[in-house]
Amino acid sequence: MTSVRPLQRLPVRRREILRDRLDELVSSFDRRHLTPDPLELVLRYDDPLDQECAALIAAAFAYGRADLVVAHAGDVLTRMGSSPFRYLHDEFSRTEAARRFRGFAHRFHKTRELVALLAHIAESVRRHGSLGALFQSCYVDSDDDIGPSLARFAESLTSPLGGCAESIAERRAMAYLISSPRDGSACKRMNLFLRWMVRAEEPDLGLWSFVDPAKLVIPLDTHIHRIATFLGLTERRSPDWKTARSLTDALAAFNRRDPVRYDYALCRLGILDLCSRKRRKENCDVCLLRDVCRFPVIEERT
C-alpha cells in the first residue's frame, strides 16, 4: 500500500477536525449542486444498461471545462436516440455513425475518434451483454484496489477489433479516452466512471454491487489535487496513479469502507469556483474547511 505519511504527520487533533470538516462538507452537497457535471447526462436514463453506456461516454470525454463536457457529450447522447444501449447493441455501424456524428468536436477529439470509441463499446456490449458484465469478468475481489481490474477492463475495451484496421490516431485516442493504470495515469475519468457505477450513495448510481467501494481510487483531477494539497492530504506534485492512490489511502483513514465518498463534495468546491487558485477571501470566510486549510487567505487584487 502507498505511504500516508503526509496525513500521519498532522497532529492527532487536527486530523480529527479535518475528518469532521470533510464529513460536514459531504453533507452539504447533494444533487441540487450537480450542474455542471457529466453525471447529469447519465441521470437522464432509467434503464441501467443505458446508464452504463451513457456513463462511459460521458466519462471518456470528461476533460476540460465541465459545462463544455456536458454540452458535447450530451449532444452525442441525444444523437444516439432514446436508448444508448440499444443504439450500440442493435444499430451501430461505423459507416452510419460517421454520418450521424459528423461535426462532433470536443477539444482535440473529433468525429473519427468518437466513432472509434463507440465501435469499441458496441463490440463490448454485443460480446458480453453489458458493460457491467464485462467489468465483472475483469474484477478480482482479492486485488488491493481497483487498479488491476480497471487495467483489464481498459485492455478489453481497447483491444483491436476484428476486421477493422484502425489508424495510429484512433489507437492513440482510445488509449487516452479509456486510460489504464498500467500507463501510470491517474485515470481520473475512468475512476469517475467507476465511482458512478459502484457507490450507492447520492449522487452515484450503485449499479455494480459486486464491486467493493473500498477498492475504488479517487478520480484525481486538478481541483481534487489542489484542494488535497491545501488540506495536507498529499505532498506529491505529479497528478499520476501513485498520487491518486496515496490520496485515497489518506482519505481511507477517515472512512476505510468508502474513501471516495469525499470526491463529489471536494470536486464541487473547484468546479463551482468556491475554492480557486487565487483563494478569494469571500469564499474562504464561509468555507467549511477554512480552519483545516494550511494556506492563508489571499485576497484578489482589484
238-266 per-position pLDDT tens digit: 999 999 999 999 999 999 999 999 999 99
Largest interatomic CA distance in the chain: 62
User: pLDDT tens digits, residue range 97-110?
Assistant: 999 999 999 999 99
The Cα-based distances of 63 to 60, 132, 173, 220, 265 in angstroms read 8, 23, 13, 12, 18
In sequence order, which ranges of 33-88 are alpha helices (DSSP H)? Answer: 39-42, 48-60, 66-79, 84-86
User: Residue 109: what are its φ and ψ, rounded to 5°?
Assistant: -110, 135
What is the pLDDT confidence band of residue 4, given thresholds at 50, 70 and 90? very low
Q: What is the mean pLDDT of the chain?
A: 92
For residue 52, the one-letter residue type is: E
Contact predicate 211/198, CB 8 Å: yes
Indicate the pTM of the whole model. 0.92
**Which residues, at least 6 apart from 159, have a Cβ–Cβ distance to it below 8 Å?**
none
Q: What is the mean pLDDT of residues 134-149?
A: 97
DSSP annotation of 91: I
Contact predicate 176/248, CB 8 Å: no
Q: What is the mean pLDDT of residues 22-31?
A: 94
- For residues 88 and 287, the model is more confident at 88
- Consecutive H or E run containing 109: strand 109-110
- For residues 77 and 6, the model is more confident at 77
Contact predicate 275/285, CB 8 Å: no
| pLDDT at site 301 | 42
